Homo-oligomer: A and B are copies of this chain.
Amino acid sequence: MLITLTTDFGLGEYVAQMKGVILAINPEASIIDISHNVRPHSVREGAYVMYSATPFFPFAAHVGVVDPGVGTERKAIVVVCEGAMFVGPDNGLLIPAARRFGIKEVREIRNENVFRREISSTFHGRDIFAPVAAHLSLGEKVATLGPVLQDWVDLDFGLYNQRGREFIGEVIFVDRFGNLISNISGKAVLDAYKWGDLLSIDIDGKDYVAPFVRSYGFSRSHKLLATISSSGFLEVALTEGSAANHTGATEGSSVRVGSKGGEAK
């Protein structure tokens, strides 16, 4: 069975330790890195990365470790879904991705027989989550891991507001290109506008005008544009440049989208 890893560790010795632990338990495990470049301690960015990537995989155990509360009493959980399992800390990291699959049950991981023998207080990714995923990949039954939880830490990307053709939301992710991914539904914007419409876009109180286009290539070089991100959200981008640098926006910046009353030339 496939195991994927998403962490804020960088691709280095910590991730390697997790892979070593998995392969020592199941030498046949197939391990795929989703990302290890999550901003350190940013549970929400990690949640977005898992939300964005996991639906494309065949059945897998998806391990997530962005875990500022490691070593305190925060629980370790496994989330069982249709078509996927998620393993990680009970801090909301796994929930948006799991909800996309449909959550069947959440269990607390308590069965120490599937942990590494020595458990450090600083690295549950290696000592708990990796071995649990490895045992699941060998066919370990989820029910043996621990009791069903009725309550767990939730996380969503915030609700956006829509009033007629006006949308108010926020930036939830800035990708490597400086593209700004908002929490506004791309489909909702496409219902309200058509390709080529000029939008008025307010980011953190600064006003911009940008065409709503099907893809980056349809806008002129170094001009702001609005499009639908590959994960389905409204995205603000700058052709051959960085919208993040251009606008100064970061994760959490406010985004308001309205009509500019014209068509792109």
Contacts from A to B (Cβ < 8 Å): 2, 4, 9-14, 16-17, 19-21, 23-24, 27, 31-37, 40-41, 48-49, 52-58, 68-72, 74, 120-123, 126, 175-177, 214-218, 227-230, 235, 239-240
Contact = CB atoms under 8 A, between A and B. Distances in A.
Given A121-B214, A123-B230, A11 B35 contact: yes
Nearest to A58: B24
A53 B20 contact: yes
A71 B176 contact: no
A13 B49 contact: yes
A215 B52 contact: no
B41 A16 contact: no
Given A12-B35, A40-B176, A21 B70 contact: no
Contact of A27 (B49, B53, B54, B58): B58
In the assembly, how many copies of this chain are there? Answer: 3
B41 A230 contact: no
A59 to B, nearest CB: 9
Nearest to A12: B35
A56 B11 contact: no
Contacts of A24: 56-58
B23 A2 contact: yes
A227 B123 CA distance: 12
Given A13-B34, A13-B53, A16-B34, 4 more contacts: A23-B58, A68-B239, A71-B214, A121-B214
B23 A57 contact: yes
A240 B20 contact: no
Contacts of A239: 68
Contacts of A216: 68, 70-71, 122
Given A70-B216, A121-B215, A176 B56 contact: no
